[in-house]
């Protein structure tokens, strides 16, 4: 844009720290609303379910896995782009990453936390969840490391740890900036957060190296996490789930949904926190291109699934496929195809790609589609397995729907806390992209 004037270093500090240090009433209202919804729609139904048993959900003999698990995949998926994208772009040294990566990583962290909640909600006896981690317990038993669910436990623990460290380490210099801009208790707290960061050459040097290694670790991790999540399904014999393509399918879907999530979050941050000078068209453009690529891969895998299902001719595969395409949940299937395969093709047009509002809507649609996809996985395959006589049907109960809605509020609440805790745009990395301060040009 022509009227764009590059900010000075001091302006960067001022603009970004303002989002952290100045809290208006609008923030508190939004925060109050999301926190209330999180409590009313998420925690209270959960406590109720805890009390009466999992029967509070719509799951039944015909479908023992329901929206809790599909939401779990969704949130894990949403978490996928942030850290992964940030790490990939860090390693490939793409400059445009710097303004957006912090919020993307935050999205990872908090959607991962939300996903972890769904694991707990999903359990029949959540009060014994500690038996699934290798700590001593009354039964004297250790977890079964042959279980794909335990891969999950390991993967999510690792992913949560690695992403927290990744985002935290990347923020240490910014915590120092917050510390320097504040007084009193906040100053003391941020002194601790920033480890007493001064910005010496040695500190920068070590951080740089460590950060690169974190990035190196995080990339294969992120790929493995969603592969492992897919194995929860693909390792079963269930027709429609027992596919080798499932791991790449899930990883691709996850990155897809995560990238769309980044667009959504970017849009909101830009609008609500007046960060127009930092989150710019180039970001939207690049993310848009990424979305197109991902949507094409995603559509390709979907077509592949239809193709193999149709070609196999096996009653199991074919039945599962026809039910998905033409059964009770067929409208959801076609909605998903529309939202995730067709609508994103609009991004090919530069005009659409550069429109914040349209991109925002598309990104939301993609994630609705992805949420549907995850729901279809549990609701179309599991109730119709091998024995036709045991075929059933699944529809989520009010408790499940409420918890699903509540999970979005929970995510929003966590994110709102985050933006008051950590600068949502990396101060020092934005400065890096600016014109260096030199006397001699």
Q: Does 354 contact other proteins by CB under 8 A?
A: no
User: 24 vs 136, which CB is nearer to other proteins?
Assistant: 136
| Binding letters toward other proteins, positions 391-430, x by CB under 8 A | xxx----------------------------------xx-
| Binding letters toward other proteins, positions 116-135, x by CB under 8 A | ------xxxxx-xxxxx-xx
- Tell me the two tokens of residue 369: 């589609």
E-strand stretches of 291-373: none
Q: Does 436 contact other proteins by CB under 8 A?
A: yes
User: 125 vs 420, which CB is nearer to other proteins?
Assistant: 125
Q: Does 328 contact other proteins by CB under 8 A?
A: no
| Binding residue (CB under 8 A) for other proteins from 180, 276, 281, 335 | 180
Closest approach, Cβ 164 to other proteins, in A, equals 10
CB 187, CB 179: distance < 8 Å? yes
Cα distances from 136 to residues 118, 120, 124, 154, 201, in angstroms, run 24, 20, 21, 17, 45
Q: Does 158 contact other proteins by CB under 8 A?
A: yes
Contacts by 265-269 with C-beta closer than 8 Å and gap 24+? 265/103, 265/104, 265/107, 265/415, 266/100, 266/103, 267/356, 267/359, 267/360, 267/363, 269/103, 269/419, 269/424, 269/425
**Near other proteins in 262-321, by CB under 8 A:** 315-316, 319
Cα distances from 247 to residues 29, 226, 254, 262, 303, in angstroms, run 41, 7, 10, 22, 16
| Binding residue (CB under 8 A) for other proteins from 1, 47, 52, 185 | 52
Closest approach, Cβ 111 to other proteins, in A, equals 19
CB 78, CB 261: distance < 8 Å? yes
Q: How large is the C-alpha radius of gyration of the chain?
A: 23
User: 75 vs 231, which CB is nearer to other proteins?
Assistant: 231
Q: Does 47 contact other proteins by CB under 8 A?
A: no
| Binding letters toward other proteins, positions 228-267, x by CB under 8 A | x---x--xxxx-----------------------------
- Three-class DSSP category at 367: helix
Q: Does 213 contact other proteins by CB under 8 A?
A: yes
User: Which one of the spans 157-165, 258-266, 304-312, 356-364 is the region binding other proteins (CB under 8 A)?
Assistant: 157-165
Closest approach, Cβ 46 to other proteins, in A, equals 14
Q: Does 113 contact other proteins by CB under 8 A?
A: no
Closest approach, Cβ 190 to other proteins, in A, equals 11
- Tell me the two tokens of residue 426: 């990396």
- Tell me the two tokens of residue 160: 């949560």
Residues sharing a CB contact under 8 Å with residue 416, sequence separation 6 or more, in sequence order = 27, 30, 31, 34
User: 59 vs 407, which CB is nearer to other proteins?
Assistant: 59
């Amino acid at each position: 844009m022509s009227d764009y004037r590059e900010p000075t270093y001091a302006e960067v500090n001022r603009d970004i720290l303002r989002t952290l240090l100045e809290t208006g009433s609008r923030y508190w209202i939004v925060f109050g609303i999301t926190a209330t919804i999180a409590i009313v729609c998420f925690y209270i139904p959960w406590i109720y379910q805890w009390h009466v048993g999992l029967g509070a959900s719509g799951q039944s003999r015909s479908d023992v896995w329901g929206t809790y698990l599909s939401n779990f995949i969704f949130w894990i998926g949403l978490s996928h782009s942030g850290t992964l994208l940030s790490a990939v772009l860090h390693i490939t040294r793409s400059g445009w990453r710097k303004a957006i990566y912090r919020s993307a990583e935050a999205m990872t962290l908090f959607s991962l936390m939300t996903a972890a909640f769904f694991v707990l909600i999903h359990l029949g006896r959540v009060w014994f969840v500690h038996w699934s981690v290798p700590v001593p317990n009354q039964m004297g038993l250790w977890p079964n490391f042959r279980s794909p669910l335990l891969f999950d436990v390991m993967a999510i623990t690792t992913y949560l740890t690695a992403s927290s460290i990744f985002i935290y380490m990347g923020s240490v210099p910014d915590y120092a900036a917050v510390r320097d801009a504040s007084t009193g208790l906040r100053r003391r707290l941020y002194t601790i957060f920033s480890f007493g960061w001064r910005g010496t050459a040695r500190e920068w040097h070590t951080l740089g190296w460590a950060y690169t290694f974190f990035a190196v670790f995080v990339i294969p991790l992120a790929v493995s996490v969603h592969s492992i999540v897919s194995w929860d399904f693909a390792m079963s014999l269930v027709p429609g789930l027992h596919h080798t393509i499932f791991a790449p399918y899930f990883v691709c879907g996850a990155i897809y949904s995560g990238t769309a999530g980044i667009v959504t979050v970017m849009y909101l941050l830009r609008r609500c926190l007046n960060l127009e000078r930092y989150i710019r068209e180039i970001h939207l453009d690049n993310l848009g291109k990424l979305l197109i690529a991902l949507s094409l891969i995603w559509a390709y895998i979907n077509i592949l699934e239809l193709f193999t299902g149709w070609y196999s001719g096996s009653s199991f595969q074919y039945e599962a496929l026809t039910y998905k395409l033409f059964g009770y949940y067929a409208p959801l299937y076609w909605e998903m195809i529309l939202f995730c395969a067709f609508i994103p093709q609009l991004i090919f047009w530069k005009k659409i790609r550069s429109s914040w509002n349209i991109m925002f809507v598309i990104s939301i649609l993609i994630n609705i589609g992805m949420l549907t996809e995850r729901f279809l996985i549990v609701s179309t395959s599991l109730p119709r397995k091998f024995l036709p006589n045991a075929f059933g049907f699944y529809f989520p109960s009010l408790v499940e729907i409420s918890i699903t809605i509540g999970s979005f509020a929970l995510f929003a609440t966590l994110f709102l806390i985050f933006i008051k805790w950590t600068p949502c745009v990396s101060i020092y990395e934005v400065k890096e992209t600016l014109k260096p301060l030199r006397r001699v040009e």
